């Protein structure tokens, strides 16, 4: 078996990373706007004020997608663009922007996959405590009701949150993402718990307020462990969902409560936290997502330590590293979906996979990116292997459609299928864009 006939081939972006127009069109501030303004957190003081100017150039970008033959585009709504204060009134210009984008996509035959929250948290709500505020799940629920009412006549796939691992773990615990805080573990876990409640409420709100039937899922960052030896294969699912230490990236931490209705038993001890919660919350948190979105870029080979635990296997010296210093490990796109499937039996979308390469235009004004082509080919080969073993993989979204603002790395990392000149905003499809178009045409038969 190969990829399903209706396999969804797409590319992804997120609002703050591409839209620009940060102070235009009635938009409210987000915590990324204020973090960038500060000038100290992001590489070379870059800000995404203008970004890729997708807000003004989305029609040109949709035309590029169409040329590539994309079947779907995953993008996020900027919460403060739609609701400048986070709660309360809607911003009509924001509503118009997303309506226009959705209509342009549908006209081009491209299915919109909408993420509700991809990190650009409304600054006004942050000042009220953000995810630490007990009201925060309700704020997100009200936002989801608006989304459903406004867009679900045309958008049929929704992703509630993108990578809580990053916006809570990196944002509130490790201080490497906005709002760049290192809260004590009790507070970070409380924010995590509120995010899970928000996810549960939003999932129900989207379903209850949708016009027609919709699919609602969530997207997680993954920490894929892969077996180094034949013997390690037998325990790899269990190892992938074992919580070790104060690790917000641990695979069980979000999906176990959201899907199975329980936290890992060792949650409080692993985080050395005095963390308790109302058991009734689990009725909200467990929300039966229709699918799981997995963001997978790399994985880690592990082996048994002979004492009932595991140890990392240091990558071979020939293993290449991307511009993010992430190891190139194609098998992560096999073991990731496979282990999630075996634990939850939910359909899987790869909502992100891609590579940043240090690259620039050649004298012929083209961008030749053989490393990205080989990355895509070798990873997709492994995804196909998972599909052929019965894993219900529904789609793949390359990250990213175009080069964009890579958070604290600013514009220094290029992930795109399309090269962006940030001075002129000129777009140049890379060689990989043509390669990916060929894969889409053949439904991956030509890998
Ligand atoms: C995950 C995030 O969702 C996305 O915003 C980011 O740019 C990519 N990974 C690459 O780091």
Measure 162 CA to ligand 1 centroid, in angstroms.
Answer: 9
Which residue out of 120, 352, 416 has the highest number of ligand 1 atoms within 8 Å of its CB and is therefore the one to mutate? 352
Closest CA to 140 of 68, 91, 203, 56: 203
Mean pLDDT of 82-100: 98
User: Of all atoms in ligand 1, which is nearest to the CA of residue 407?
Assistant: 7
CB 82 within 8 A of CB 97: no
pLDDT surpassing 80 at residue 439: yes
Q: CA 198 → CA 148, 203, 258, 288, 308, distances in Å?
A: 15, 8, 11, 14, 37
Beta-strand relationship, 427-429 and 418-420: antiparallel
**Among 119, 120, 163, 405, which residue has the most ligand 1 atoms within 8 Å of its CB, making it the best to mutate?**
163
> What angle in degrees, to the nearest 10, is found between the helix axes of 370-388 and 332-344?
30
> According to the model, what pLDDT value does residue 28 have?
98
Cβ burial, residue 147 (10 Å; 0-12/13-18/19+): buried
CA of 12 relative to ligand 1 center, distance in Å = 10
User: What is the CA(9)–ligand 1 centre distance, in A?
Assistant: 18
SS (H, E, C) 276-309: CCCCCHHHHHCCCCCEEEEECCCEEEEEECCCCC
Find all residues with CB under 8 Å of 253, minimum gap 6, and list them: 165, 192, 243, 247, 263, 264, 267
Best residue among 399, 401, 403, 410 to mutate for probing ligand 1's pocket (most ligand atoms within 8 Å of CB) is 399
Distance CA 134, CA 130 (A): 9
Confidence of residue 242 (pLDDT cuts 50, 70, 90): very high
Tokens of 195: 């995010």
Q: Are 82 and 116 in contact (CB under 8 A)?
A: no
- Which residues are within 8 A (CB) of 442 and not within 5 positions of it... i.e. 6 or more apart? none
User: If you measure from the C-alpha of residue 17 to the centroid of ligand 1, how many angstroms do you get, rounded to a whole number?
Assistant: 9
Question: Per residue in 178-236, pLDDT tens?
Answer: 999 999 999 999 999 999 999 999 999 999 999 999 999 999 999 999 999 999 999 99
Q: For position 178, what pLDDT does the model report?
A: 98
| 252 burial level (CB within 10 Å; 0-12, 13-18, 19+) | middle
Q: Look at residues 85, 159, 152, 155 and name the one whose alpha carbon lies nearest to residue 117.
A: 159
Q: How far is the CA of 352 from the centre of ligand 1 (A)?
A: 8
pLDDT band at 145 (very low <50, low <70, confident <90, very high): very high
- The question of whether 24 is a catalytic residue gets the answer no
- Contact indicator for 420, 404 with CB cutoff of 8 Å: yes
β-bridge mates for residue 402, sequence order: 418
Mean pLDDT of the chain: 98
Instruction: For residue 293, list its beta bridge partners.
Output: 219, 349
352 is catalytic: yes
Residue with CA nearest ligand 1 atom 7: 406
pLDDT at 415 > cutoff 70: yes
| pLDDT tens for each residue of 111-136 | 999 999 999 999 999 999 999 999 99
Q: Which residue's CA is the closest to the ligand 1 atom numbered 11?
A: 406
* Ligand 1, atom 5: closest residue by C-alpha: 14
Whether the predicted pLDDT of 150 surpasses 80: yes
Question: What is the C-alpha separation between 11 and 28, in angstroms, rounded?
Answer: 27
Task: Please give the Cα distance from 400 to 186 (Å, whole number).
Answer: 34
pLDDT at 33: 98
Catalytic residue among 111, 141, 163, 406: 163
State in Å: Cα 304 to ligand 1 middle.
Answer: 31
CA 114 – CA 158 distance, rounded (Å)? 5
Q: How confident is the model at residue 291 (pLDDT cuts 50, 70, 90)?
A: very high
Nearest atom in ligand 1 to 119's CA:
5
Residue identified by tokens 């990731």 is 336
Task: Ligand 1, residue 162: give the atom nearest the CA.
Answer: 3
pLDDT at residue number 412: 98
- Model confidence at 1, pLDDT cuts 50, 70, 90, reads low
Closest CA to 393 of 294, 278, 247, 281: 294
pLDDT, position 330: 98
- CA nearest neighbour of 372 among 337, 416, 402: 416
Please give the pLDDT value at position 126: 98
- Strand pairing class (348-353; 393-399): parallel
Could you tell me which residues come within 8 angstroms of residue 244 by beta carbon, excluding any fewer than 6 positions away?
A: 250, 270
From first CA to last CA, the distance across the chain in angstroms is 14
Considering the chain, what percentage of its residues have pLDDT values greater than 90?
99
pLDDT at 253: 98
- Which residues approach ligand 1 with their CB closer than 6 A? 14, 17, 162-163, 295, 352, 399, 406
């Amino acid at each position: 078996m190969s990829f399903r006939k209706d396999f969804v081939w797409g590319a992804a972006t997120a609002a703050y990373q591409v839209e620009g127009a940060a102070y235009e069109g009635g938009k409210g501030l987000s915590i990324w706007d204020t973090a960038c303004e500060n000038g100290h957190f992001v590489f070379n003081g870059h800000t995404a004020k203008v970004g890729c100017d997708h807000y003004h150039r989305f029609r040109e970008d949709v035309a590029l997608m169409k040329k590539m033959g994309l079947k779907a585009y995953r993008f996020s709504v900027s919460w403060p663009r739609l609701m400048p204060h986070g709660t309360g009134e809607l911003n009509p210009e924001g509503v118009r922007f997303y309506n226009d984008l959705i209509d342009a996509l549908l006209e081009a035959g491209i299915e919109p996959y909408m993420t509700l929250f991809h990190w650009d948290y409304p600054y006004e709500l942050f000042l009220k405590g953000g995810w630490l505020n007990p009201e925060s799940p309700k704020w997100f629920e009200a936002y989801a009701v608006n989304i459903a009412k406004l867009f679900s006549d045309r958008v049929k796939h929704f992703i509630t949150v993108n990578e809580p691992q990053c916006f809570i773990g990196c944002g509130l615990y490790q201080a490497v993402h906005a709002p760049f805080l290192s809260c004590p573990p009790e507070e970070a876990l409380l924010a995590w718990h509120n995010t899970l409640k928000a996810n549960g409420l939003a999932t129900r709100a989207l379903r209850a307020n949708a016009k027609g039937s919709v699919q609602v899922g969530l997207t997680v960052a993954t920490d894929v462990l892969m077996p180094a030896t034949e013997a390690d294969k037998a325990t790899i699912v269990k190892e992938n969902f074992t919580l070790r230490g104060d690790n917000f990236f641990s695979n069980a931490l979000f999906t176990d409560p959201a899907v199975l209705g329980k936290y890992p038993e060792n949650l409080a001890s692993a985080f050395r936290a005095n963390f308790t919660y109302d058991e009734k919350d689990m009725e909200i948190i467990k929300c039966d997502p229709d699918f799981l979105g997995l963001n997978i870029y790399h994985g880690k080979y592990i082996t048994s330590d002979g004492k009932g635990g595991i140890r990392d296997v240091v990558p071979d010296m020939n293993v290449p590293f991307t511009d993010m210093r992430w190891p190139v490990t194609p098998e992560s796109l096999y073991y990731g979906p496979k282990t999630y499937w075996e634990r939850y039996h939910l359909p899987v979308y790869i909502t992100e996979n891609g590579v940043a390469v240090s690259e620039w235009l050649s004298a012929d004004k083209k961008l030749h990116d053989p490393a990205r082509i080989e990355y895509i080919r070798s990873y997709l080969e492994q995804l196909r292997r998972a599909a052929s073993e019965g894993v219900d993989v529904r789609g793949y979204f390359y990250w990213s459609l175009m080069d964009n603002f890579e958070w604290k790395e600013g514009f220094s990392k290029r992930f795109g299928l399309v090269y962006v000149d940030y001075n002129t905003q000129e777009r140049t499809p890379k060689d990989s864009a043509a390669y990916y178009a060929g894969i889409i045409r053949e439904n991956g038969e030509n890998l």
